[in-house]
Structure 1
Amino acid sequence: MIQGKSVLAIIPARGGSKGVPQKNIRYLSGKPLIAWTIQEAKKSNYIDRIVVSTDDERIAEVANSWGAEVPFMRPPELAQDNTPGMAPILHAMKMIPGYDYIVELQPTSPLRTVEDIDSCLEQCIEQNVDSCVSVTLTDKSPYWMYSLSECKELIPVITKNNTITRRQDSPDVFVLNGAVFVAKSAWLEHTGNFLHEETIGFVMPKERSIDLDTTLDFALAEAIIKEEKRSEWQ
């Protein structure tokens, strides 16, 4: 609990990953991908219950073995390629009602730490807002992005400020990193989304913001973890 408010953590993990088959239980540096998220969530000072929403029996077994609950299996219609990302979260909230705050933790963010989770919750509470989500500085500023016309002409994505001529002068731009989503339950049920006009951002460093979607992402995460271990030994 945090300031007397109960907290439910939901880890969405469907079995039908296309890019990397069985991605959520693929091994990363010696343990299943989903285990990284479960372990950090278990360290939280505030999370009261950790549940995994999955349609896959193998994922359910792995999640249970690492200490998360799988109190229900996700219906097949909520585990399709075109299923909206919020659908499994709202379904889990209906299956397990009664919590004041919801924290969504996607298993594809294995480098997120318990400090990130708890700090995002604390920021949401301290600023008395309805929702707080994790973000990180983007490497590619939209001020230097273009679309192409049929004739291959460059069309600026952002045209409001054409006075920026140097990359160093462009303002900081943040992107969702998918690591931590926090919201008041009643508000989330009403809006149906963590992202709204009231949502604020919790800034995470780039090195903990990697989102695993491809085999190349797994290789990068492996390299980061090995480098961190090497630094700890020195």
Structure 2
Amino acid sequence: MIGGKSVLGLIAARGGSKGVPGKNIFVVNGRPLIQWSIDAARASGYIDRLILSSDDSAIMDVARNAGCEVPFRRDAALASDTASAIDVVADALMRVPGYDIVVLLQPTSPLRIAADIDGAIELLVSSGAGACVTVREADEHPYWMFRLGDDGRLSRFAEPAGGMPLRRQDLPPAWSLNGAVYVADCGWFLQHRTFLSPATVGYPMPADRSLDIDTVADLELLQRILGEEVNGPLPSSP
């Protein structure tokens, strides 16, 4: 709870990932991937209740064993490749009502820590914003990105002020979503059904805690970051 507001933590993990099958329960440094997020959420100073939304029995069992409540099984319609995270969060808020703030944590961000979660919650409350999402400094600056036309000509995605070329040290800060923490006022979220709007604030996180696991190569990178020997079987890509 924060400022008299109750906080629901939600970990969303479906079983049908095509990119890296079974990644949510792949064991890294002795813990299934999803447990890294569960442990961070349980260490939060503000999350009052932590629940899982999943359609997969194996994921549900791992989450329970790690201390996460599993109050329902996600409907199959919300576990397809085309199902949106927004619908998953809205479904969870309808099934588990009565909270003021919802915090969505994806198990693909294992290096996020409790301080990141609590910092984003604090920023939401202190700013009075409808939502807060975590961000990291962009790898590539939009001033150095281009469209390639049908005629092969380049045009900038964003024009620098004055149209002049910029040295790297002259570039204004640019930020990317890192997918680690999404926080919203529950009433605002159910009305707008998004985490991203002009009412959203960004909470900066360092790059070394912003790894998002999407591919087998990302899992290998995580193992290297954690100092684990990459000599066991990894999930295979299709």
What TM-score comes out, normalization by structure 2 length? 0.92
Paired amino acid for 2:24: N
Give me the CA root mean square deviation: 1.2
Using the TM superposition, give the Cα deviation of residue 26 of structure 1 relative to its aligned residue in structure 2, in angstroms.
1.2
User: Residues 109-120 of structure 1: matches in 2 within 5 Å?
Assistant: 109-120=109-120
Q: Secondary structure at the match of 2:125?
A: helix
Name the residue aligned to 1:203.
204
Q: Which moved more, 1:93-102 or 1:156-165?
A: 156-165
Work out the number of aligned pairs and report it.
Answer: 227
User: Residues 136-155 of structure 1: matches in 2 within 5 Å?
Assistant: 136-155=136-155
Name the residue aligned to 1:60.
60
Task: Give the conservation status (yes or no) of the 8 Å contact 1:23–1:33.
Answer: yes
Task: Give the conservation status (yes or no) of the 8 Å contact 2:143–2:160.
Answer: no
Name the residue aligned to 2:3.
3
Q: Distance in 2 between matches of 1:69 and 1:164?
A: 53
Answer yes or no: is 1:46 the counterpart of 2:52. no
Q: Distance in 2 between matches of 1:145 and 1:5?
A: 42
Answer yes or no: is 1:214 the counterpart of 2:215. yes
Structure 1: 5+ residue stretches without partners: 228-234
Paired amino acid for 1:18: K
Task: Give the conservation status (yes or no) of the 8 Å contact 1:132–1:181.
Answer: yes
User: Residues 174-213 of structure 1: matches in 2 within 5 Å?
Assistant: 174-213=175-214
Paired amino acid for 1:6: S
Task: Give the conservation status (yes or no) of the 8 Å contact 2:44–2:117.
Answer: yes
Task: Give the conservation status (yes or no) of the 8 Å contact 2:101–2:186.
Answer: yes
Using the TM superposition, give the Cα deviation of residue 160 of structure 1 relative to its aligned residue in structure 2, in angstroms.
5.4
Task: Give the conservation status (yes or no) of the 8 Å contact 1:164–1:170.
Answer: no
Moved over 6 A (4+): none
Per-residue displacement from partner, 1:159-207 (whole Å, max 9, x unpaired)? 3532233232121100000001111110011000111111000000000
Name the residue aligned to 1:230.
none
Name the residue aligned to 2:104.
104
Q: Secondary structure at the match of 2:133?
A: strand
Q: Secondary structure at the match of 1:155?
A: strand
Structure 2: 5+ residue stretches without partners: 229-238
Quote the sequence identity (%): 45
Per-residue displacement from partner, 1:21-53 (whole Å, max 9, x unpaired)? 011111222211100000010011110110110
Q: Distance in 2 between matches of 1:198 and 1:217?
A: 32
Q: Distance in 2 between matches of 1:168 and 1:149?
A: 29
Task: Give the conservation status (yes or no) of the 8 Å contact 2:10–2:50.
Answer: yes
Task: Give the conservation status (yes or no) of the 8 Å contact 2:120–2:134.
Answer: yes
Per-residue displacement from partner, 1:3-35 (whole Å, max 9, x unpaired)? 111100011100011110011111222211100
Name the residue aligned to 2:231.
none
